[in-house]
């Protein structure tokens, strides 16, 4: 077999090499000629998989090592009897940890519109979580562990379960923080394309913190920019942008935290994606599962750290979280895009993703707590550390 895989998929050669010859290439360069004689194609979100790409090729299995599938024409694959697999939930914990890190940073920096950007505490604040699937449900649990009041919105889940905890979107508009974890869909009653628009933003209470880690086109870029410039938003965190990699530099400049679509880029999350798709490929092809990343994972940079027992809970937790995941470093690297001419900004965005540094999830770090307060112990464990 011949398998073409995005070079940004960890262990692609080690895993799929059990099935045949693996050729790794840049995801954005994948074209029909490159895969004409390939049996399988393994991608990430930067490759659009549709009739234009696959017609006339030998491809009989497509896998995307991502939780989202808006870049794949699934109906086309089904009509051609081409096997397909995605990796739902693979990097959900990574995204949830990103949200925790972002909130802790914003709490230290303070909100726009306040005198001297006074700091605030997350405990007791209200966060609205839009989309409560694999990612959103983890955000809910971590936010509750931080002592926040959580409001949840997920119309499909509400209809499916009848659970009263899933509220109409209007019930979330008075929240202090609004974070989006929805798939990108353009049709139907729950379409999410540009759901963050002028109408929604105008109904938020002044000073709301807005977070988007789902897909760039869930937000109308111009509407978000107007909301920031008008002073309506107290904070803005963007990991995703419309028209990636050719993104709005104005939004990067005005966001409090801007990163290049890497919220789900923990090494653990990416390897989970590889494993899920590899297993699905084996099942489709009738081959035994012979590869596991268990013994190949690198040691975490911080296997053991000590909590500061003489600090406020949130300060001590912030110190732990930013030791393991320095989200501000991601933001600083992203802001260098503002120094580049427009023609170089897109390639730099992709460069940041391709060369993203090793980041392990909180679960790989054991925290020694000593005599810390029970409340801090609960927060440390609640966001995912081993205690």
Q: Which residues are catalytic?
A: 215, 244, 261
C-alpha span between 52 and 292 (Å, rounded):
34
Return the C-alpha torsion angle 42, 43, 47, 50, nearest 10: 40
C-alpha span between 58 and 62 (Å, rounded):
11
Among 262, 252, 250, 270, CA closest to 350: 262
- With left for phi above 0 and alpha for psi between -120 and 50, is residue 370 left, alpha or beta? left
Please compute Rg for the chain using Cα positions: 21
The verdict on whether omega for the bond into residue 245 sits within 30 degrees of 0, i.e. cis, is yes
Query: 278, 291 in Cβ contact below 8 A?
Result: yes
How many alpha carbons lie under 13 Å from residue 291 in its C-beta half-sphere? 24
**Positions of E strands within 193-273:** 208-212, 233-238, 257-258
Query: 273, 85 in Cβ contact below 8 A?
Result: no
């Amino acid at each position: 077999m011949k398998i073409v895989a995005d070079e940004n998929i960890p262990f692609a050669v080690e895993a799929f090499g059990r099935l045949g010859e693996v050729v790794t290439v840049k995801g954005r360069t994948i074209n029909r000629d490159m895969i004409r004689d390939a049996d399988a194609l393994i991608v990430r979100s930067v490759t659009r998989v549709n009739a234009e790409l696959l017609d006339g090729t030998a491809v009989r299995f497509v896998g995307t090592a991502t939780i989202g599938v808006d870049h794949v024409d699934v109906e086309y694959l089904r009509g051609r009897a081409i096997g397909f697999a995605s990796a739902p939930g693979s990097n959900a914990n990574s995204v949830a940890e990103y949200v925790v890190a972002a909130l802790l940073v914003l709490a230290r920096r303070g909100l726009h519109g306040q005198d001297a950007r006074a700091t605030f505490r997350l405990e007791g604040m209200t966060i609205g979580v839009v989309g409560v699937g694999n990612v959103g449900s983890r955000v809910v649990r971590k936010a509750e562990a931080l002592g926040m009041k959580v409001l949840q919105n997920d119309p499909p889940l509400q209809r499916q379960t009848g659970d009263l905890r899933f509220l109409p979107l209007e019930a979330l508009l008075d929240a202090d923080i609004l974070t989006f974890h929805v798939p990108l869909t353009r049709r139907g009653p729950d379409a999410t394309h540009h759901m963050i628009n002028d109408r929604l933003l105008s109904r938020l209470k002044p000073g709301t913190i807005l977070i988007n880690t789902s897909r760039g086109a869930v937000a109308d870029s111009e509407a978000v920019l107007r909301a920031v410039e008008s002073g309506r938003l107290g904070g803005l965190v963007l990991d995703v942008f419309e028209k990636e990699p050719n993104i709005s530099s104005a939004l990067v400049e005005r966001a409090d935290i801007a990163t290049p679509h890497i919220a789900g880029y923990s090494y653990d999350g990416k390897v989970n994606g590889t494993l899920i798709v590899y297993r699905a490929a084996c099942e489709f092809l009738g081959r035994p599962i012979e590869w596991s990343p268990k013994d190949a994972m690198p040691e975490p940079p911080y296997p053991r750290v000590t909590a500061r027992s003489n600090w406020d809970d949130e300060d001590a937790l912030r110190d732990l979280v930013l030791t393991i995941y320095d989200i501000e470093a991601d933001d600083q690297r992203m802001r260098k895009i503002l120094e580049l001419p427009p023609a170089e900004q897109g390639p730099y965005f992709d460069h940041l993703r391709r060369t993203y540094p090793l980041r392990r999830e909180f679960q790989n770090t054991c925290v020694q707590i000593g005599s810390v307060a029970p409340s801090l112990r609960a927060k440390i464990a609640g966001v995912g550390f081993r205690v």
